[in-house]
Amino acid sequence: MAENVLLVFNRNPYDGTDAMIQLSDLTRRYGNALAVDHISFDVTKGEVFGFLGPNGAGKTTTIRMLTGLSKPTEGKACIMRLDVNSDMAQIKKYIGVVPEISNLYDELSAMDNLIFMAQLYGVPRSQRKKKAEELLKIFRLYERKDSLFRTFSRGMKRALTLAAALIHNPEILFLDEPTVGLDVVAGRSVRNLISNLHRQGITIFLTTHYLEEADLLCDRVAILVKGKILAIGSPRDLKEKTGKNSLEEAFMKITGLEPEVLAIEKGK
Ligand SMILES: Nc1ncnc2c1ncn2[C@@H]1O[C@H](COP(=O)(O)OP(=O)(O)O)[C@@H](O)[C@H]1O
Ligand SMILES: [Mg+2]
């Protein structure tokens, strides 16, 4: 995204006095297993909030509950004071979601994917093409607007998925592992896009297991292990409290997951 580009967002009357995202004892069970175990925190307006944790920690399950793809078993979550259990139709107008695996269609062109998403999210017909073109230009994909999604590189796919999530000018963006599987250049470009959205005042909730990325992007992070939050704070706070120089070292200290242990778990 070009540094100087500004999207014009239609603001919801909600002024963000309360937190934009509020979780209170949010819980999700699968059978007897607790995928998400009574987690509580707030995300304030304009914040980039990082949800960190190893594979299987419950990051995706949390995003799915916050975006209407999965029902909480217990507890409560609100987005802009609206309850995820009862007001999801309303909430969807104000949130954009970038799932880990793209929700776009392989056999549609970049342009048609965006137009389709615009239609789905209730963008008025007269504005759909203009909005799609604007996003394609910002994301530097305009020259490829007529190419099928399946012909895109991984980085281009991620960029278009991000563009699609912005088609209805959301207030809050949920990103599930936005840079996983991307090469250095594509990863950097997605991080720049996130920073630009941050500067425009969008509230961003992202999951990642890249701690350097979280350190770079996030105002605050929560560390999730086995469905439980072990720590929450700014990357700087967590480093200071643990007396470590990097978020990765702080993470290791907080979680008690030493590299040897991680290596064994990965090998399972
Ligand atoms: N649909 C499902 N059915 C059963 N178990 C699930 C389902 N989805 C996730 N889980 C389990 O919930 C836990 C958390 O998974 P997930 O939220 O995907 O973790 P993360 O995104 O942090 O890697 C894991 O133990 C996973 O196996
Ligand atoms: Mg996940």
Q: Concatenate the DSSP letters of all residues of 102-124 into one string.
A: --S-TTSBHHHHHHHHHHHTT--
Collapsed DSSP state (helix, strand, coil) of residue 251:
helix
CB–CB of 25/75 below 8 Å? yes
Cβ of 74 less than 6 Å from ligand 1:
no
First to last CA, the chain: 40
pLDDT averaged over every residue in the chain: 89
Cβ of 35 less than 6 Å from ligand 1:
yes
CB–CB of 104/113 below 8 Å? yes
Percent of the chain whose predicted confidence (pLDDT) is above 70: 89
pLDDT at position 17 is 65
Report residue 185's pLDDT band, with 50, 70 and 90 as the boundaries: confident
Residue 148 carries which DSSP code? B
Tokens of residue 74, six digits? 């217990």
- Cα 56 to averaged position of ligand 2 atoms, centre (Å): 7
CB atoms within 10 A of CB 143: 10
Q: What pTM was computed for the model?
A: 0.89
Measured by CA distance, the residue closest to atom 11 of ligand 1 is 35
User: Starting from the edge strand earliest in sequence, which strands make up the sheet with 82-83, in order?
Assistant: 33-43, 21-30, 74-79, 82-83
Measured by CA distance, the residue closest to atom 17 of ligand 1 is 58
In ligand 1, the atom with minimum distance to the C-alpha of 58 is 17
Which residues in 53-78 are b (16+ Cβ under 10 Å) and which e? Answer: bbeebbbbbbbbbbbbebebeebebb
- Cα 15 to averaged position of ligand 2 atoms, centre (Å): 31
Residue 1 carries which DSSP code? -
Examine the pLDDT at 215 and tell me if it is beyond 50.
yes
Q: Which residue matches tokens 């090998």?
A: 267
Cβ of 32 less than 6 Å from ligand 1:
no
In ligand 1, the atom with minimum distance to the C-alpha of 224 is 22
Cβ of 58 less than 6 Å from ligand 1:
yes
Instruction: State phi, psi for 162 to the nearest 5 degrees.
Output: -65, -45
Examine the pLDDT at 3 and tell me if it is beyond 50.
no
Cα–Cα distance measured from residue 20 to residue 211, given in angstroms and rounded to the nearest whole number: 24
Which residues in 128-141 are b (16+ Cβ under 10 Å) and which e? Answer: beebbebbbbbbeb
